[in-house]
Amino acid sequence: MQEKKGLFKSSVSRKNMMAISGLFISFFLVIHLLGNLILIIPDSFFPIEFWGNVANAHDMYNAYSHFLVHFWPVSIIAWILYAAIIIHIVDAIIITNQNRKSKGDNYVVADKASSTWYARNMGILGTILAGFIVIHMAQFWLKYKVLEVEEDLYDLVVETFKVGWFVILYVISIVAMGFHLIHGIKSAHTSLGLHQKRVVKFVEIFALWFSVILTLLYAIIPIIIYFKEI
């Protein structure tokens, strides 16, 4: 009994860690989106030169990226983000294995009637996202931030999104992210103890809108760059 209690306790705190890391990643996604939307600001939105030499999206995006890399408080937040991503993935694997062991083969069947397809496939959506993050970070973060082999991040992103296959890969991954977020945000609040009916309803609606807006705005970035003459 004692052992069972310990197991339950650790699985509860794991769920809390997953919830907190997931909410932190969601917060990062909003900031990351705002920064990357600079990529698709039309040049006509820069009627005058401001910030010294910044006169178009190209300059503004590179100024923003330079700030991200050279402003130390941002670097600390970035390290917290990497830790959050790792904690989220490791806890997801452990919790999934524990659920499988404790519920056996009936697990998925029992859930089918009362849940959405994406809630039942959080593991698959999460795996697609993990694969995407590895490719994504190898493409941009590694080349620009770590190896420093690319100085013009705007050019690197635009070159990448001129390749049709990458645009398709990004759009599919971003849609997977959207479904993962709808259920993830809702279940994070439940894990953190919000069970009142009204609050749950509010969180459900918020999670849906948040995820839809984030997905659409992220997805239009590679699509616009692909079709825009740059």
User: Which CB, 122 or 137, lies closer to ligand HEM?
Assistant: 137
Tokens of 2: 């004692």
For the record, the structure tokens of 33 come out as: 């989106």
Q: Say whether residue 181 binds ligand HEM (CB under 6 A).
A: no
CB of 190 to ligand HEM, least distance (A): 22
3-state secondary structure of 210: helix
Q: Which residue in 137, 175, 200, 208 binds ligand HEM (CB under 6 A)?
A: 137
Please list every residue from 76 through 95 that binds ligand HEM, using CB under 6 A. Answer: 78
Stretch that binds ligand HEM, among 14-22, 98-106, 187-195, 218-226 (CB under 6 A): 218-226
Report if residue 153 touches ligand HEM, rule: CB under 6 A. yes
CB of 143 to ligand HEM, least distance (A): 8
Q: How far is the CB of 50 from ligand HEM (least distance, A)?
A: 22
- Contacts with ligand HEM: how many residues (CB under 6 A)? 21
Decide whether 65 or 191 has the Cβ nearer to ligand HEM.
65
By CB under 6 A, is residue 222 in contact with ligand HEM? yes
Q: Are 153 and 140 in contact (CB under 8 A)?
A: yes
Pick from 46, 107, 118, 141 the residue near ligand HEM by CB under 6 A. Answer: 141
- Shortest Cβ distance from residue 192 to ligand HEM (Å)? 22
* Residue number with CB closer to ligand HEM (63 or 200): 63
- Measure the CA–CA gap between 120 and 113, rounded to whole angstroms: 11
Angle at 168 between CA 18 and CA 33, to 5 degrees: 50
| Binding residue (CB under 6 A) for ligand HEM from 54, 90, 119, 145 | 145
19 lies in the binding site for ligand HEM (CB under 6 A): no
Distances (CA, A) of 56 to 156, 161, 220, 221: 16, 19, 19, 16
Q: Are 141 and 85 in contact (CB under 8 A)?
A: no
Is residue 121 helix, strand or coil? coil
- Cα dihedral 132, 136, 138, 144, rounded to 10, equals -170
List, in sequence order, the alpha helices (H) in the chain.
2-36, 57-70, 72-103, 106-112, 117-120, 122-136, 153-161, 164-191, 197-227
List of residues contacting ligand HEM (CB under 6 A) = 32, 36, 65, 68, 78, 129, 133, 136-137, 140-141, 144-145, 153, 157, 170, 174, 177, 218, 221-222
